[in-house]
Amino acid sequence: MTELNVSSIQRFSVGDGPGIRTTVFLKGCNLRCPWCHNPECVSPETQTLCYKNTDKKTVSGKTMTVDEIIEDVMEDVDFYRESGGGVTLSGGEPLLQSKGAKELSKGLKERGVTTLIDTAGCVPWENFGDVTDFADEYYFDIKTADEKLYKDVIKGDKALIFGNLKRLIELNKNVVVRIPLIPGFNMSEIDCENICEELNDIGVKRVDLLPFHRLGSSKYEALGLTYAYKDVLPPDKAAVGRIKEIYDKYFITNIE
C-alpha cells in the first residue's frame, strides 16, 4: 500500500475549496516562497514546532497509508455530501507525492468524495498526469509573471508552471487560479497587468486573490526559523480593491 508523508489533517477547513472540507497537508515543497504561511510543510523531514509562550509542541510529519488517510477523512463524509464539500490535498506541494495522491484521489472517488488538488504547479507534467483522471478540481497558485522573480526569489520554473496550467485548461479541467497579493513583490499595476495578460492568453476564466497575512508567523518561531515578512503589513482594503479592479477586466475575480 502506498504511503504519504503527511504534515497534518485538518477538518472543517475554511478557504480550501467549496463546502465543508477536510484538508490533508502533505510534507515537502520545492519552492521557497519567503512569505509561506505553512513553513512546517516545506521540509519533507519530520519537525517539532515548539511554541515558547504556551509550551505547546506539535509534530509535523507522519507516514500514513492511503487506506489510513481514507479511513480518517471519511469520518466526515456526511458533511461533504450535505455541503458540496470534499477533501483537499495541499501542502507543501502535494504533487511531489503524485503516486500517493493518485491512489488517494481514486479511493475517494470510488467512495463518492471529490478531491481538490492545491498546487503551485512546479512539477513535471507526468505528476499531473498521475491525478488528472481522479482529481475533480485544482487550485493553481500563480505568484508572478516575471521569470526572473520566479527563479531568483522563490526558486521556481515559470515556463514549467505556466505550461502545466495551460495543459490543464486545454484538458478542460476545473481550475481556479489563486494569486497571493504580496507587498513589494506582485502588487504594482504593471505586475498585475502582466499576470492578467499571460493568464488570459492561456484561457484562465476565474481568479481568486489572496491578500498577504502574517497568520503563520508564529510557526517560524516555533520551528526556530526567521520569518522574512515578519515586519511587512498586510495590504489595506483600498489597495486590494484597486488590484481587484484590474483583474476584473479579465476574469471572474474573488477575494479570499
What's the pTM? 0.95
Burial class from Cβ neighbours inside 10 Å (0-12, 13-18, 19+) for residue 238 reads exposed
| 48: amino acid identity, one letter | T
CA distance 245 to 207: 12
Question: What CATH number should be reported for the domain holding residue 180?
Answer: 3.20.20.70
Predicted local confidence at residue 1, as pLDDT: 74
Quote the pLDDT of residue 152: 97
Contact at 8 Å (CB) between 251 and 205? yes
State the first-to-last Cα distance of the chain, in angstroms, to the nearest integer: 37
* Res 52: pLDDT: 87
What tens digit of pLDDT does each residue of 67-85 get? 999 999 999 999 999 999 9
Q: What is the pLDDT of residue 27?
A: 98
The residue written with cell numbers 497509508 in the block is 65
**What total of structural domains would you count in the chain?**
1
For residues 53 and 186, the model is more confident at: 186
| pLDDT on residue 95 | 98
User: 198-242, pLDDT tens digit by residue?
Assistant: 999 999 999 999 999 998 899 999 999 999 999 999 999 999 999
Is there a contact between 199 and 207 (Cβ–Cβ < 8 Å)?
Answer: yes
User: Which pLDDT value is given to residue 9?
Assistant: 97
- What is the domain range of residue 135? 3-255
Cell of 40: 512546517
The predicted pLDDT at position 15 comes to 82
pLDDT digits (tens, 9 = 90+) for 10-41: 999 978 999 999 999 999 999 999 999 999 99
Phi, psi (degrees; rounded to nearest 5) at 215: -65, -20
Q: pLDDT tens-digit profile of 152-204? A: 999 999 999 999 999 999 999 999 999 999 999 999 999 999 999 999 999 99
